[in-house]
Structure 1
Amino acid sequence: MSLIVRPVSGRTEADAFIRLPAALQAAGEPWSVPLFADSRRIFDPGFNAALAEWDVPRFLAWRNGRPVGRIAASLPRGGGERGGFGFLALERDPAVLRALLHAAASWLAGRGATRLRGPVSFTINHEIGLLVEGGALPMPRMPRNPAWLPPMLDEAGLEREMDVLACTLDVAREAHRARFSRLLRRWEGRRDLVIRRLDTTRLAQEVALVRDIFNDAWAENWGALPVSAAEARMMAKLLRPMLISGTVLFAEWKGEPIGLASLIPNIEPAAAGLGGRLLPFGWARLLRALAGGARSARLPMLGIRRAWRGTPVSAHAMGALLSEAIGWAERRRWAEVEVSWILQHNAPMLQAMARLPAPVSGRWRLWGAALPGRFPATSD
């Protein structure tokens, strides 16, 4: 049985790449299965303008004419020292993993990259990591994978680089709002701090503000990459349906936007069992979830501009954002809110989560390796 890996070529192979996780899930493995339509849009330059700034070649592993694994590499156009690998899915076979890694690593090394990191799909600002612990509450853009895959990456010679965490709040048990309300009443600056919602009538401008705050607040984080204007335009397209019941909150101090938080409904339970397909009735299930039928939510962004860190303004802005986010979840009847992801060494954020209380509920891992790599091409 010969195993070969080759770049995706043509519409049929592109479709096989998109559908492979669904085929693996149907065979009994717990892979994330994004909607086929969403996955196609990621690789559509007409929808995802960020593809003008990145090269994202896709590879399929084939055995006896059948796809058995997939991977994508990613590198900024113009090159860079660090490249990524992601969109990883495969049958349980170390040879398939090594062959996929070899293909991605060889492509990256051939373009001057000296290190690879992943899984990232296709930058660290999007879906990242492999689930290694917990994660019982499936959430949008928080991947799921078989338990055997992370050890297989260890055995393939990759080095563990970073874990990212999810913390989950039981809304009925939260202790934050009452405690913060007492603190806020005693603070002389409370009248100058305002929390407002994103204005959907000015979506392009508001998304640009999200980008501006994000690029500042997250700039010093491990692995940080700025969100480009092209990515922000894609974000605006993806964000609009989530705002039917979700929201983005801005913290303003004396009229200046200094922080943000976002809440999106958890549509994963509605998507479960669809096998990636919207037709014939999947769209109706998802619309109900987006319009208020979800029972949980994810908080993917919570941050304050760096200039305000360590000040009373920052502490109160963070507390106010959390209070408003919890209130929004309560009004939407979301029983749980997952705050994700959080870097494993972000002690201040983890302490804030403990006070909510929102204990750690899931852990995802990223790996890295020097290039040209230690993943010999294999055939069997």
Structure 2
Amino acid sequence: MIVARPVSGGAEARAFHALPARLRPLGWSVPLRWDEARMFDPAVFTFLADHAVQRFLAWKDGAVAGRIAACVPKDPAAPATFGFLCLERDPAVLAALLAAARGFIREQGRAEMTGPLSFTINHEVGAQAGFFGRAPMLRMPGSPDWLPGMLDAAGLAPVRDMLACTLDVAAERHSARFAALALKRPAEMARLRLRPLVRRDFDGELRRIAALYNDAWGANWGAVPLGAAEVKGLGRLLRPLLWRGEVIFAEWDRKPVGLVSVVPNIAEAIPGNGRLLPFGWARLGLALAGQVRGARLPMLGITQDFRGHPASALAMGALLREAIGHCRLRGWQHLEISWILDSNAAMLNAMARLPAPVDGRWRLWRGGLD
């Protein structure tokens, strides 16, 4: 018999966060348990103040066989979602988990759900739909090759794919090309200013990041604005990554035009059991100190007012050059640029010129609650 029910008590919460490590041989990535647990702590992750969230465990013959979380934003324009999915290869377990998520979302007055999203499109996105077995990357979930077919068979409809492109830093061609372009346009380059994040004004910089993000990504498919509570929570998660990572702002005539962020791939250092003890702390500390092989570029965007403006191409090129230069400074060998909508032809053409070939694909599904 299979039954899915809400997580109750500390032991079940620990079982929820321990499940990916147990099912790792099936193809699930293993998050850092301590870090993931903080995302369900309202005192740490203030995002929860604006969202109704419930975790569920599926039980089969008295043992945990799967997990899921449902999330319903207070903002009626933002989609209800399911995520944090991990389960045995059993369609009946998936059916029980999806039914539990649907029930919770229905109780909150919604008519459909989208996922996997943990929690929104601003966090971990999708289930792998290709390039299985790729190396772990920060906040990019790994899942088994049988999951897409199982989600299709469960009656959910695919709605969008997201891509990752990875640059071999030693082989990149962008920096030299951009240097030549800059020499030909000195007057325009004089109007462009780049600056790094000011650590001593971290809270103010977070607000500026959120404002730029909400503007630059606001017209994208599935965009969900970052709210004040979410920004505060994300700041707690972001700060350790900026020990060796960086956020760089671009300004045109002193007006904000875009930004880029690059952070070390600490997923390389997460133990297979997801635990920090006994030696995980040391490995994580080295990763945060930049002693990893790769990095991720999760944000590279230009504000709406500058789309099609001469500043747009210059700012985008300069920001990308700075991100690549930061990787060289830290000794990082490859840079993943993710995620990119599969319909974003302009960005994919830019990736091809770097060259940064597509090497990751994640898919989202949507379904009604009947």
**Is 1:66 the equivalent of 2:63?**
yes
Please name the residue that 1:263 is paired with.
Answer: 262
Comparing 337-346 with 134-143, greater Cα deviation is found at: 134-143
**Does structure 2 conserve the Cα–Cα contact (< 8 Å) formed by 1:176 and 1:356?**
yes
**Does structure 2 conserve the Cα–Cα contact (< 8 Å) formed by 1:176 and 1:355?**
yes
Please name the residue that 1:333 is paired with.
Answer: 331
C-alpha distance in structure 1 between counterparts of 2:268 and 2:341, whole Å: 26
Post-superposition, which runs of at least 4 consecutive aligned residues in structure 1 deviate over 3 A? 78-82
C-alpha distance in structure 1 between counterparts of 2:261 and 2:75, whole Å: 33
Which secondary structure does the structure 1 equivalent of 2:299 belong to? strand
**Does structure 2 conserve the Cα–Cα contact (< 8 Å) formed by 1:79 and 1:112?**
no
Identity over aligned residues, as a percent? 54
**Is 1:286 the equivalent of 2:284?**
yes
Which secondary structure does the structure 2 equivalent of 1:180 belong to? helix
C-alpha distance in structure 2 between counterparts of 1:257 and 1:314, whole Å: 11
Instruction: Compute the TM-score of the two structures, normalised by the length of structure 1.
Output: 0.95
Please name the residue that 1:376 is paired with.
Answer: none
**Is 1:185 the equivalent of 2:173?**
no
Please name the residue that 1:214 is paired with.
Answer: 213
- Structure 1 letter corresponding to 2:351: M
**Is 1:111 the equivalent of 2:108?**
yes
Please name the residue that 1:309 is paired with.
Answer: 307
Which of 320, 323, 328 is equivalent to 1:322? Answer: 320
Which secondary structure does the structure 2 equivalent of 1:74 belong to? strand
Q: Deviation at 1:77?
A: 2.8
C-alpha distance in structure 2 between counterparts of 1:165 and 1:351, whole Å: 13
C-alpha distance in structure 1 between counterparts of 2:44 and 2:174, whole Å: 40
Q: Deviation at 1:72?
A: 0.8
Which secondary structure does the structure 2 equivalent of 1:292 belong to? coil
Q: Deviation at 1:307?
A: 0.4
Post-superposition Cα deviations, 1:122-171, rounded to whole Å, max 9, x if no partner, equal: 11100010111126232100000111111100111111100000000001
C-alpha distance in structure 2 between counterparts of 1:208 and 1:108, whole Å: 30
C-alpha distance in structure 2 between counterparts of 1:119 and 1:298, whole Å: 21
Please name the residue that 1:377 is paired with.
Answer: none
C-alpha distance in structure 1 between counterparts of 2:61 and 2:368, whole Å: 32
Which secondary structure does the structure 1 equivalent of 2:243 belong to? coil
Instruction: Compute the TM-score of the two structures, normalised by the length of structure 2.
Output: 0.97
C-alpha distance in structure 1 between counterparts of 2:95 and 2:286, whole Å: 42
Please name the residue that 1:357 is paired with.
Answer: 355
**Is 1:239 the equivalent of 2:238?**
yes
Which secondary structure does the structure 2 equivalent of 1:57 belong to? strand
Please name the residue that 2:72 is paired with.
Answer: 75
C-alpha distance in structure 2 between counterparts of 1:200 and 1:206, whole Å: 8
- Structure 1 letter corresponding to 2:52: D
**Does structure 1 conserve the Cα–Cα contact (< 8 Å) formed by 2:218 and 2:224?**
yes
Post-superposition Cα deviations, 1:23-62, rounded to whole Å, max 9, x if no partner, equal: 112xx22211111111110000000111110011111111
**Does structure 1 conserve the Cα–Cα contact (< 8 Å) formed by 2:260 and 2:301?**
yes
**Does structure 2 conserve the Cα–Cα contact (< 8 Å) formed by 1:79 and 1:111?**
no
C-alpha distance in structure 2 between counterparts of 1:82 and 1:114, whole Å: 10
C-alpha distance in structure 2 between counterparts of 1:111 and 1:257, whole Å: 38
Runs of 5+ consecutive residues of structure 2 not aligned to the other structure: none
C-alpha distance in structure 2 between counterparts of 1:250 and 1:13, whole Å: 43
Which of 126, 148, 151 is equivalent to 2:149? Answer: 151
Please name the residue that 1:94 is paired with.
Answer: 91
C-alpha distance in structure 2 between counterparts of 1:251 and 1:197, whole Å: 9
- Structure 1 letter corresponding to 2:305: A
Which secondary structure does the structure 2 equivalent of 1:5 belong to? strand
- Structure 1 letter corresponding to 2:180: R
Runs of 5+ consecutive residues of structure 1 not aligned to the other structure: 373-380
C-alpha distance in structure 1 between counterparts of 2:77 and 2:256, whole Å: 33
C-alpha RMSD of matched pairs (Å): 1.2
**Does structure 2 conserve the Cα–Cα contact (< 8 Å) formed by 1:294 and 1:334?**
yes
Q: Deviation at 1:80?
A: 5.9
Please name the residue that 2:170 is paired with.
Answer: 172
C-alpha distance in structure 2 between counterparts of 1:81 and 1:114, whole Å: 12
Which of 6, 24, 27 is equivalent to 1:30? Answer: 27
C-alpha distance in structure 2 between counterparts of 1:4 and 1:157, whole Å: 19
**How many residue pairs were aligned?**
368
**Does structure 2 conserve the Cα–Cα contact (< 8 Å) formed by 1:130 and 1:143?**
yes
